[in-house]
Amino acid sequence: KGKCPEDGWDESTIELFLHELAIMDSNNFLGNCGVGEREGRVASGLVARRHYRLIHGIGRSGDISAVQPKAAGSSLLNKLTNSVVLDIIKLAGVRTVTSCFVVPMATGMSLTLCFLTLRHKRPKAKYIIWPRIDQKSCFKSMITAGFEPVVIENVLEGDELRTDIEAVEAKIKALGAENILCVHSTTSCFAPRVPDRLEELAVICASYDIPHIVNNAYGIQSSKCMHLIQQGARVGRIDAFVQSLDKNFMVPVGGAIIAGFSESFIQEISKMYPGRASASPSLDVLITLLSLGTSGYKQLLKERKVSNTFLKSSFNKIFLLQTSMSLKNLDENNDAAVTQLGSMLFTRQVSGARVVPCGSVQTVNNYTFKGFMSHTNDYPCAYLNAASAIGIKKQDVDTFLKRLDKCLKTSRKERNKEKNVDEISNSNTSSEQLES
Q: What is the CATH number of the domain that holds 225?
A: 3.40.640.10
CATH number at residue 361: 3.90.1150.10
Q: Does 366 share its domain with 428?
A: yes
Q: Is 40 inside any structural domain?
A: no
Q: Residue ranges for the binding site for substrate? A: 60-61, 68, 276
Q: Does 137 share its domain with 200?
A: yes
Q: Is 193 inside any structural domain?
A: yes
Q: Is 278 inside any structural domain?
A: yes
Q: Which of 91, 178, 86, 163 is nearest to 127 (CA)?
A: 178
Q: Does 367 share its domain with 277?
A: no
Reported in sequence order, the residue ranges of 216-360 that DSSP labels E, i.e. its strands, are 240-244, 256-260, 354-356
Q: Which of 347, 328, 335, 334 is nearest to 406 (CA)?
A: 347
Structural domain boundaries, residue 387 = 322-435
Q: Is 162 inside any structural domain?
A: yes
Q: Is 250 inside any structural domain?
A: yes
Q: Residue ranges for the binding site for tRNA? A: 234, 348, 413
**Alpha-helix runs per DSSP H in 145-256:** 165-175, 198-208, 223-235, 245-249
Q: How many independent structural domains does the chain possess? A: 2
Secondary structure in 3-state letters for 139-161:
HHHHHHCCCEEEEECCEEECCEE
- Which amino acid type is present at position 256? A
Q: Does 247 share its domain with 204?
A: yes
How buried is 360 (Cβ within 10 angstroms: 0-12 exposed, 13-18 middle, 19+ buried)? middle
Q: Residue ranges for the binding site for pyridoxal 5'-phosphate? A: 38
- The number of helices, as runs of H, and strands, as runs of E, in the chain is 14, 13
Q: Does 166 share its domain with 263?
A: yes
For residue 360, CA distances in Å to 341, 369, 373, 379 come to: 16, 8, 8, 11
For residue 275, CA distances in Å to 57, 180, 219 come to: 10, 29, 29
Tens digit of pLDDT per residue, the chain (436 long)?
789 999 999 999 999 999 999 999 998 888 888 777 778 899 999 999 999 999 999 998 778 988 988 899 999 999 999 999 999 999 999 999 999 999 999 999 999 999 999 999 999 999 999 999 999 999 999 999 999 999 999 999 998 999 999 999 999 999 999 999 999 999 988 888 999 999 999 999 999 999 999 999 999 999 999 999 999 999 999 999 999 999 999 999 999 999 999 999 999 999 999 988 999 999 999 999 999 999 999 999 999 999 999 988 887 777 655 433 346 666 555 667 788 888 899 999 999 888 888 888 999 988 999 989 889 998 888 888 888 999 999 999 999 999 988 888 888 787 777 666 555 666 656 556 656 5
Cα 276 to Cα 56: distance, rounded to the nearest angstrom: 9
Q: Does 280 share its domain with 382?
A: no
Q: Does 271 share its domain with 410?
A: no
Residue pair 238/198 in contact (Cβ under 8 Å)? The answer is yes
Q: Does 146 share its domain with 192?
A: yes
Q: Does 128 share its domain with 259?
A: yes
Residue 99 pairs in a beta bridge with 260
Q: Is 4 inside any structural domain?
A: no
Reported in sequence order, the residue ranges of 386-433 that DSSP labels E, i.e. its strands, are none
Cα 417 to Cα 435: distance, rounded to the nearest angstrom: 27
Q: Does 93 share its domain with 193?
A: yes
Residue pair 376/161 in contact (Cβ under 8 Å)? The answer is yes
- Which amino acid type is present at position 172? I
Q: Residue ranges for the binding site? A: 38, 60-61, 68, 234, 276, 348, 413
Q: Does 283 share its domain with 345?
A: no
Whether the pTM exceeds 0.75: the reply is yes
Last residue of a domain, one of 270, 289, 308: 289
Residue pair 245/285 in contact (Cβ under 8 Å)? The answer is yes
Q: Does 87 share its domain with 213?
A: yes
Q: Is 421 inside any structural domain?
A: yes
